[in-house]
A and B are shown apart, each in its own frame.
Chain A
Amino acid sequence: MKRKFKIFRYDPQKDKKPYYKEYEIEVQDGWTVLDAINHIHFYVDGTLAFRRACRSEICGSCAMRINGKNRLACKTQIKFLGKGTIKIEPLPGLPVIKDMIVDMDPFFKNLEKVKPYFIKYSPLPDEEQLQTPEEREVINEAAICILCGACTTSCPSFWANPDYLGPAALLKAYRFIFDSRDEGAKERLEIINDRNGIWRCHAIFNCTEACPKEINITHYIKKLQNLAVNSEF
């Protein structure tokens, strides 16, 4: 079946400003958007650029805006996108390097601000630290975030204020603060208990809707807000 794609194009080396280019290709049953743009890149227009790696929803490379929504190209089946032209653009809110490739450095820099690593001051045991399945369950969902950036770049609060840590960084903070083994909750809470931290979230739920791993990010940010209000730190 023939399908039309309207794709955002921008190469700062040769284009004064971005434009959209249309491609019409034959798509096969079961193709994802990634299959389609790979096909265009491989056989129609070698200059088209985008990131991708695992093509199985786990590496987080291929987040982009597809028909106005942030999604993973590898997870998006073309047959579920209706009949019209499929519009493909880079994630919003981050500087565009070329075509669908955005500069992820601001995203990762925000992540680094929340001390996104396990913190332990007590002596470690020779073997593992114990954690019951129930304790683990509290952070299970948050721990499988793939850092694709779909959430943070869907958030109007982030668009308006790039200093906002954003949902992905806050989710990472949650993953450690609520880890029964971790001892860095207080120092992380001091960082995120800020107008550019948890209080910039206005529960718009864009992040939760955008998350390709279907993580209820807004819910976890609310948990952090509750903790900040009720904690004795």
Chain B
Amino acid sequence: MEIEKYYHKSDALVVGTGLAGLRAALALADAGIDTITISKVYPTRSHSVSAQGGIAAAIAHASDDSTELHMWDTVKGSDYLGDQDAIEMFVNEAIETVYEMEHMGVVFSRMPDGRIAQRRFGGHSRPRAVYAADYTGHVLLHTLFEQCIKKRVRFFNEFFVLKLVYREDGVVSGVIAWDIRNGGLHIFNAKATLFATGGFGRAFKITSNSFANTGDGLALVLREGLPIEDLEFVQFHPTGLYRLGILVTEGARGEGGYLLNGKGERFMKNYAPEKMELAPRDVVSRAIQTEINEGRGIDGKDYVYIDLRHLGAEKIKERLPQIRELAMNFVGVDPIKEPIPIQPTAHYQMGGIPTTKKGEVTKDSQNTIVPGFYAAGECACVSIHGANRLGTNSQQEAITMGRIAGEAMAEFVKKADLFSIPEQAIEEAEAYVRKYLEGNGSVRPAELREKLHETMTNKVGIFRNEKDLSEAVKEVRELEEQIPKIKVEDKGFIFNLDLQEALETENLILFSEIVAAGALNRKESRGAHYRVDYPKRDDENWLKHTLAWKTPEGVKFDYKPVVITKYQPQERKY
């Protein structure tokens, strides 16, 4: 069987077409840099499109506000694990990002005087979320896509990256990808490569994430012997539609929605008496899970309600139209008349590929830069979100860091040389798809994913302990041993979804070990990482970032210090 090879050269390469990737591609286009943009989907299908509630910036339209307050809320929200130099830069840039997006035509919701409207969100002490009803991610993504059409960005849609080319001399010189539509290997050689490959929610059974969110970028990096930072911090969004995990925006609580348990109580009064439903997500998800675990779910079952009825039909239709539609179509509930059944849902990874404030990827505790390699958005860890991300900070991070990384790449490629792609890398990538196209496995990818979902959801969830986590690490390793047995029924070249899912399943298993082992390793509770056997935050031993490498002997750890500039850690209360 002949696999055709195609060679491409460009100065810059962007992998991923969500908010971060598209914004980076625009920055590169504006700088006149020859750029290729690759995505495994059409750009407007990227999961950023599903973001709902808003994008944070202290533009102070709905109340007094300041970048200092935005910074303080983000630092506290991160449970002091966020790097304060990065956060300070981020909150300042955030304001420019909002106006810049408006100048590109985003249809933000407005105040009667025509200025941009803002709403409340969890963990933010001021109404800081700039929004477009509950379609914020959609309008941001489509607007960036429109601008990319205007600037004639070169897209290679429906390409699946098989290999990051990390050369022996420590330089990244591109990627090798499979053409999903036609088959064939495409070798993309570039001076600078950006990963904007998004999140990993599909490792869990209940998730808000798209089918495409299989953490491919993380796996590609790990496979090259590079580390991932803080991957044990997984955000479970408090309000996913029951059984489905589909997102019900935090904006629903921002607009005044209540959380009710089986007794009809607003139980948040017992967990965050001041902030109530607008405490940060880690706090609210733990509260919901506690209510469920202690038998106070609805009819004793594993869900609670979010009640919007008191907001009235008009407000629900104007501010939360998508939530109403999703609730009606997927759980048969009209939120104007009935409360919506919800449960926590795997939503976001705080950790990711370690980067500098300019999006340059680093590879050790000294922050040594990998020349030619950048990362931005959810797949990256700057770290702005630390141990827990505040709602509306992720869309903001994706766009802001996409722009910053794109600008940094533009500067870099003007001075950099083009390093070749070693023949061996191409051979490895080819062998990687051949093993599925020519192999005779017996286990369907879906069977392995189902087992992974059970392990990750039951043992690496909201509440964690030594025993479960040890088992989880062992179980994920056992799944890894099953990878050579994966069966790909479709042997064709054209849109081989079966092949793609085998590759994705392999990626899911690879990084899941890092998540589980990192959670087992971190013997404290901080932000979204909660250990029932170590329920307190331990700043003395654990106020540090995890760096984790995948090695044949298992996961290897190192650490790097948290950057603390203005705010010393203190008790975190809401």
Residues of A within 8 A of B (CB): 11-14, 30, 41-43, 45-61, 75, 77, 97-99, 101, 104, 108, 111-112, 115-118, 120, 124, 126-133, 135-136, 139-140, 143-144, 146-147, 176, 179, 181-182
A57 touches B326 (CB 8 A): yes
Closest B residue to A115 using CB positions = B150
Query: Hey, which chain B residues are within 8 Å of A124, CB to CB?
Result: 103
| Given A49-B496, A58-B135, A132-B114: 8 more A-B contacts, CB < 8 Å | A47-B490, A51-B41, A53-B46, A97-B494, A111-B149, A117-B149, A118-B143, A128-B103
CA distance A77 to B489 in the complex (A): 28
B104 CB contacts on chain A under 8 angstroms: 117-118
A43, B45: Cβ atoms under 8 Å?
A: no
| Known A132-B112, A136-B110; contact A11-B494, beta-carbon cutoff 8 A | yes
B420 within 8 A of A: no
Q: Which residues of B contact A97 (CB under 8 A)?
A: 181, 494-495
How many Å lie between the Cα of A104 and that of B102 in the bound state? 29
**B239 interface residue per 8 A CB criterion:** no
Inter-chain contact A98/B149, CB cutoff 8 Å = no
B60 to chain A, nearest CB (A): 11
Q: Are B446 and A43 in contact (CB under 8 A)?
A: yes
| In the complex, chain B residues whose CB is within 8 Å of the CB of A41 | 497-498
State A146–B42 Cα separation when bound (angstroms): 12
Select from chain B the residue with minimum beta-carbon distance to A128: B102
Alpha-carbon distance A136/B138, docked complex (angstroms): 16
Output the least CB separation between B251 and chain A (Å): 15
Chain B residues whose C-beta falls within 8 Å of the C-beta of A77 in the assembled complex: 329
- Which of A58, A124, A136 has most B Cβ within 10 Å? A58
Asked if A144 and B45 sit within 8 Å, CB to CB, the answer is no
Q: How far is the CB of B421 from chain A (nearest CB, A)?
A: 28
Q: Does B115 contact A (CB under 8 A)?
A: yes
| CB proximity of B509 to chain A, nearest CB, Å | 16
With A13-B493, A77-B329, A146-B44 as given contacts, are A58 and B49 in contact (CB-CB < 8 Å)? yes
> Which of chain A's residues have a CB closer than 8 A to the CB of B146?
116-118
A131 touches B210 (CB 8 A): no
Whole-angstrom distance from the CB of B119 to the nearest CB of chain A? 14
Report the number of A-B residue pairs with Cβ-Cβ less than 8 Å. Answer: 159
Residue from B142, B326, B488, B492 within 8 A of A14 (CB atoms): B492
- The B227-273 residues at the A interface (CB cut-off 8 A) are 243, 246-247
B99-130 interface with A by 8 A CB criterion: 99, 102-105, 107-116
A14-B492, A53-B45 known; A136 and B326 CB under 8 Å?
no
A50-B497, A136-B110 known; A57+B325 contact, CB < 8 A? yes
Contact among B49, B105, B107, B247 with A140 in the assembled complex (CB-CB below 8 Å): B107
Q: List, sorted by A's number, 28 A–B pairs whose CB atoms are closer than 8 Å.
A: A30-B243, A42-B444, A43-B444, A45-B489, A46-B444, A50-B497, A53-B47, A54-B47, A54-B50, A54-B210, A55-B211, A56-B330, A57-B329, A58-B135, A59-B41, A60-B45, A61-B42, A61-B45, A112-B149, A118-B146, A118-B147, A131-B110, A131-B114, A132-B114, A133-B109, A139-B107, A143-B132, A146-B44
User: B470 interface residue, CB < 8 Å from A?
Assistant: no
Residues in chain B near residue A61, CB distance under 8 A: 41-42, 45
Interface residues of B in 299-353 (CB under 8 A from A): 322, 325-326, 329-331
- Hey, which chain A residues are within 8 Å of B211, CB to CB? 52-55
Of residues 471 through 512 on chain B, the ones whose CB sits less than 8 Å from some CB of chain A are 487-490, 492-498
Which residue of B has the minimal Cβ distance to A108? Answer: B42
Question: Hey, which chain B residues are within 8 Å of A111, CB to CB?
Answer: 149
B102 and A129 contacting across the interface, CB-CB below 8 Å:
yes
Residue of B nearest to A180 (CB): B114
How far, in angstroms, from A13 to B99 measured CA to CA in the complex?
49
Contact of B212 among A49, A53, A116 (CB under 8 A): A53
Distance to closest chain B CB from A201 (angstroms): 23
Q: How far is the CB of B43 from chain A (nearest CB, A)?
A: 9
Contact present for B495 and A56 (CB under 8 Å): no
Knowing A42-B446, A53-B45, A130-B115 are in contact, say whether A176-B494 is a contact too (CB < 8 A): no
Distance in angstroms between the alpha carbons of A42 and B41 in the assembled complex: 20
B139 at interface by CB-CB < 8 Å = yes
B110 x A132 contact (CB < 8 A): yes
Give Cα A99–Cα B495 distance, bound, in whole angstroms.
9
Q: Do A182 and B105 touch (CB < 8 A)?
A: yes
| CB pair A60 B147 closer than 8 Å | no
A36, chain B: closest CB distance, angstroms:
14
* B210–A55 touching, CB < 8 Å: yes
* A132 to B135 alpha-carbon distance, docked (Å): 18
Pairwise interchain contact A47-B498, C-beta atoms closer than 8 A? yes
Residues of B within 8 A of A139 (CB): 107
CB distance from A157 to the nearest CB of B (A): 24
- State in angstroms the CA–CA spacing of A146 and B146 once bound together: 13
Measured between beta carbons, the chain B residues less than 8 angstroms from A120 are 103
| Bound complex: CA A101 to CA B497 (Å) | 11
Which 5 A-B pairs rank lowest in CB-CB distance, beginning with the nearest?
A118-B105, A46-B489, A130-B114, A42-B446, A117-B146
Which A residues lie within 8 Å of B49 (CB)?
54, 58-59, 146
Give the residues in chain B near A118, CB-CB below 8 Å: 103-105, 143, 146-147
Closest to B498 in A: A46
Q: Please, how many angstroms separate the alpha-carbon atoms of A103 and B433 in the complex?
A: 24
Closest approach, in angstroms, between the C-beta of B150 and any C-beta of chain A? 4
Q: How far is the CB of A45 from chain B (nearest CB, A)?
A: 7
The minimal Cβ–Cβ distance linking B147 to chain A, given in whole angstroms, is 6
**A residues in contact with B132, CB < 8 Å:** 143
Cβ–Cβ < 8 Å partners of A47 in chain B: 489-490, 492, 498
Decide: A56 and B50 in contact? CB cutoff 8 A.
Answer: yes
Among A77, A97, A99: residue with most chain B CB under 10 A: A97
Q: B113 to chain A: which residues have CB within 8 Å? A: 130, 132
Q: Please tell me if the beta carbons of A146 and B138 are within 8 angstroms of each other in the complex.
A: yes
The docked-state distance in angstroms from the alpha carbon of A43 to that of B501 is 13
